[in-house]
Chain A
Amino acid sequence: MEAAMGLMRRMPPRHSETALSALLSLLPHNSSDLLSQVDLPLQVLSDDDSGKRFILCEYNRDADSYRSPWSNKYHPRLEDAPYPSSKLRQLEIEANDIFTVYCDQYYEGGISSVYMWEDDNEGFVACFLVKKDGSKTGQGRRGYLEEGTWDAIHVIEVGPEEETTRYCLTSTVMLSLTTDDVSSGTFSLSGSIRRQMNMNLPVADGHLCNMGKMIEEMEGKLRNSLDQVYFGKTREMVCTLRPPSEVLPMRLPDS
């Protein structure tokens, strides 16, 4: 498995779907491990009832059907499928509404979904997902991107409710962007990172508030990290391969 994850770290992020299906066919016995440890760009379906789109993931899937957070119904229809309790469903509805506004503020559009379900430890798990198409044909307002996608998956395990409750967040961001113009050719950056954050927060502030703040903080950190560290390192590498010409005249000629 370690070797498989090593391969995933080296393959171009754009081809992660192909890489994962190749690994699944080579290692069929490790499929559940692979599927839980490797994230793929998110898929979307349209809810029949409201026409709104929702994101597909393992957390709203049963067999081959997916539950819409808007109508709470499975697409395609399914008998005997699992649903969150009505109390949790209320929280889920509120979470979806608020998260939509959050996404509109940060993503200027995008598609979002939140799914919740009870876990075995008297707590629950919530999954917040965002998918943004920032290309100029999508929802990219400034029109720079030929192609651009941001997929974020935040899974929070909420411990049993006490005065101070434990929240464990695991976040994955996958992104890819391409600019293309006559003078500078094609410029393409893509990548994925995953981080964790654990916090103990007062339950009096409200689950949504606590989870929301954690996600906002995490997304901010990941965005900065991607921009400054990750993209920055690739830029540094380019300048190491061929230093900008301002540096060159400073070199003394070889005798």
Chain B
Amino acid sequence: MAEEETELSDKQKKEIAKWFLLNAPAGEIQYVAKDLKSVLNNDDVYDEAASEAFPVYNKSHMICLEMPGRFGDVLVTSYGELQGNEYLDPKTAQVAIVDHVKQVCTEVRPASDEELPTPYVEEYRCALEAEMLKYVGEAYPKGSCSVYCINGKDVEGPGYDFELVAVISAARLSPQNFCTGSWQSIWKIECKDDIQVLELKGKLQVGAHYFEEGNVQLDAKHECRDSTMFQSPDDSAIAIASLIRHHETEYLASLEASYLNLPDATFKDLRRKLPVTRTLFPWHSTSQFSLTREISKELGIGK
């Protein structure tokens, strides 16, 4: 094998660096960044890769950052993105300015009227957010949620459709226990005025990583749909939150069922715990050896 030393261009190195950063499990990007810097040994390339990769990573993982000034937390999501590093927190009507690479919120400013939905839409958004906060507070020990208007935020009154999205983001980092995990729910709610129906589309994504002397990762996804009547803001909010709660609880139960099925069913298709004979393999038995050799020869031909 001829070893050709084709030196990679900076651009190629940057793309590779981005790939590593983007594939970091939830909450581990800073650790990956540290190892990557060491392997790359080129701060300029790293900085460029980081400036491109971190925003994408932060949005897809919907990271939660603390806002200075006792405004609480803000979620970094594509739904709330106003500009490259400005993210709306609909709860407090504040806009957070974010340093993606450092993963901190550097300052906060009030949102302008153009950045917020109309009072009509806001009534629905706010009522749903209140119900969602109640639900998330009960169901997720360390979860955050926000409700955004992603379509029709300038709708003044009945007669027009608009669309909301409720997102839930929960992450658990336990680096000393070599374990991390994340849960993301994205629920899009289309408010169809003409048929007076609210259509829900949910995308749930769960991930976990355990890496003590090994590397094992869970990656689970689910999509679901439902619908309910378009009612007053408060009644709609209660109905939507209740559907979301129902679907998410069901999903958790099916995840549990998948895990319970593993040892005896799913895993068995990869490797049995014991042969059908329920005894260990007879390495010792010489008479069985010649027998097994006959069998193996047959199998050999059969393969």
Contact = CB atoms under 8 A, between A and B. Distances in A.
B142 to A, nearest CB: 8
Contact of A194 (B170, B214, B289): B214
Given A97-B297, A179-B258, A212-B281, A242 B252 contact: yes
A238 B213 contact: no
A209 B292 CA distance: 14
B221 interface: yes
Contacts of B268: 142
Contacts of B266: 142, 144-145, 148, 177, 179
Interface string A109-135: 000000000000000000000001011
B81 to A, nearest CB: 25
Interface in B259-286: 259, 261-263, 265-277, 280-281, 283-284
Interface of B: 1, 3, 5, 8, 12-13, 16, 19-20, 23-25, 28, 31-32, 34-36, 38-40, 138-143, 170-172, 179-183, 204, 206, 208-211, 213-223, 248-249, 251-259, 261-263, 265-277, 280-281, 283-284, 289, 292-293, 295-297, 299-300, 303
Interface in A202-216: 205, 208-209, 212-213, 216
Contacts of A231: 216, 218, 259, 262
Contact of B210 (A23, A53, A237): A237
B271 A219 contact: yes
Nearest to A228: B263
Given A26-B16, A241-B183, A98 B296 contact: yes
A148 B265 CA distance: 13
Contact of B251 (A139, A140, A185): A185
15 contacts: A3-B35, A3-B36, A10-B31, A26-B40, A97-B293, A144-B265, A177-B270, A189-B218, A208-B283, A220-B273, A229-B210, A231-B216, A235-B208, A241-B142, A241-B170
A227 to B, nearest CB: 5
Contacts of A229: 210
A50 B171 CA distance: 53
A141 B271 CA distance: 11
A191 B217 contact: yes
Contacts of B204: 185
Interface of A: 3-4, 6-13, 15, 18-19, 22-23, 25-28, 50, 52-53, 63-64, 70, 97-98, 100-102, 104-108, 132, 134-135, 139-145, 148-150, 175, 177, 179, 183-194, 205, 208-209, 212-213, 216, 219-220, 223-224, 226-231, 233-245, 248, 251
Contacts of A18: 19
A190 B211 CA distance: 12
A142 B292 contact: no
Contacts of B263: 227-228
A134 to B, nearest CB: 4
A100 B222 contact: no
A132 B269 CA distance: 9
